Amino acid sequence: MINLREKPYYLDDAAIDWVEKTIDEMTLEEKIGQLFVVMVKGNSMERSEIKAMLERVKPAAMRYPGQPAQNLWEQNAFCQANSKIPLLIASNCEAGGNGGVGGGTLVANGAAIAAIDDETVAYAVGRIGATEAAAIGCNWNFAPVVDLLYNWRNSIVQTRSIATTPERTVDYAKAWNRATREVGLADCVKHFPGDGCDENDQHLCLTVNDKDADEWMATYGKMFKGIIDDGVKTIMAGHIAQPAWQRRLSDHEVADRDILPATLCPELINGLLKTELGFNGLVVTDASHMIGLTADMPRSKAVPQSIAAGCDLFLFMNDVEEDFDYMMEGYKKGIITEERLSDALHRILGLKASIGLHQKQADGTLMSSEEGLSVVGNDAHMAMAKECADRAITLVKDTRGNLPITPKTHPKLQLVFIGGDKTVVAGEVMESSSTACLKNLVDALERKGFEVNVEDGRECSKSMHTSVKKLKEDFDAVLVAVDNVGLCQYNTTRIKWENQAHQPWYNAELPTVYVSFNLPNSLIDLSMSRTYINAYMDSPVVVEAFVEKLTGESPFKGQFSKNVWCGRWDTRL
């Protein structure tokens, strides 16, 4: 039986009484409903639809797509007012407040934090994200990302992981989580048992952590144990298999066809995480629409199996009635035992009590005042974003001495821009930010005094390329800017050259500088480059900071890991 007096709950008698009384007074339907985190799409759902869903499911928690701060504050207040038991409202602030609210501050993603290599930055990113999320009523944050990037081909956590070693990941996670708790939110790290070994994306297929059992324990296990000992309240389980530990802890032989993602695997959640590593907190699944969960087990079985495996909350419902019935049937058939249901409910209610939701509900203070929305994107937070941009941008190499590129030395600039595709976040198709990045980049360069031509490929319509003579007459240098992202669209994201004019035929003819505003391991496709820069993000403040460094007005300060070379010798030239 879980002890709610111990880490990470630390409940007193009154709080434990509330947990026990609340569970005792629940109907079976209410208990089953508490196993779900629902998606409240206030941008497409009427209030009556939201209310009907809350009344039908009576969920423990909710998430939401991004909207303006005022809209989200009103939506979250409505949801709390229509919930008998206070809701956990989760944000996804992995890089600042932008992951929780429209207009929130993008401070620094995981790759930028790693490049800066300063725990105070991890603290600041966690603090700003939690503060802006709290302003709209959130009390739980799904961050930081603590996956270890051992495979440079992995695109899904390449910009999201906060460090490159287990030791530094623990340091950063402790700082981040401390900030989250200080603001009053429940903290969370993801994705157990650890992404970064595979090059696949669990949104699209099963991901595999293929470390042997001892190596896993010396790396991922060491990292998770350090964070658990620090008191993290929740851990998100990924749709990630760990065959070695599933086999080590199983009481029968496990064939390859029997390998399961952690979200469905009792050996990994009940066995490895909760028993071997001693995690006493709450486990939430990653989003349940991902193919890593759904491909090999019917949803009717996967929904209850996730709870049976040791996960305490199931993230998102495809069809409300259907998923609720799947969970209920799983309980009635004994897939979810009475003991497992009780344990999950105690962890869920214990988490709520540990951040004072029961008392806040009684006091009418679950929501902060509307005036508090002014913190979202405020000047202090933007100043931190600018500081991080300045400190993160990394010069990986300049072996031809092309830098600096200035309006005085290279006034006529040819700009080749490689944009990204749309992305999918929590089931929502999001437009690429590349269009804005291109505009911001051109504007920043022109403000410096460059004459900028954006290559559109029309010069190649009649021949393979324009002449070298004309190239050198028209331009003094070439800037190749890559804003390449395809989150949840491809397993491994690579650069796609739109046309022959974009392709770097000019590389040996003019000083050519390459910059990535997204994935830092782009040298696999840019091995011809002799000047390569990682900027990590495509926000306006990062674009502005990059131009300052391109022209030599600001020094490069960021650091890079060996992953940047993509395991090749030619990328170093």
Q: Which residues are catalytic?
A: 286
First to last CA, the chain: 59
Residues pairing with 424 in the sheet: 429
Give DSSP secondary structure letters for 153-171: T--SSTTT-S-SSHHHHHH
367 by Cβ neighbours in 10 Å (0-12 / 13-18 / 19+) ranks as buried
Q: Where does 76-221 show beta strands of DSSP type E?
A: 88-91, 140-141, 188-192, 207-208
The residue type found at 107 is: V
Q: Taking the alpha carbons of 290, 291, 292, 296 in that order, is the dihedral positive or negative? A: positive
Radius of gyration of the chain (CA): 25
The residue type found at 88 is: L
Angstrom CA distances, 48 to 223, 319, 367, stand at: 45, 17, 21
Residues pairing with 88 in the sheet: 61
Instruction: Please tell me the distance from the alpha carbon of residue 146 to that of residue 192, in angstroms, as a whole number.
Output: 9
Q: Is 89 helix (H, G, I), strand (E, B) or coil?
A: strand
Please, how many CA atoms are within 13 Å of residue 142, restricted to the half-sphere of its CB? 26
Whose CA is closest to 146, among 166, 130, 117?
Answer: 166
Instruction: Please tell me the distance from the alpha carbon of residue 152 to that of residue 254, in angstroms, as a whole number.
Output: 29
* In the block, residue with structure tokens 């981040």: 176
464 by Cβ neighbours in 10 Å (0-12 / 13-18 / 19+) ranks as exposed
The residue type found at 480 is: V
* In the block, residue with structure tokens 């505009």: 439
What tokens does 317 get?
């419902």
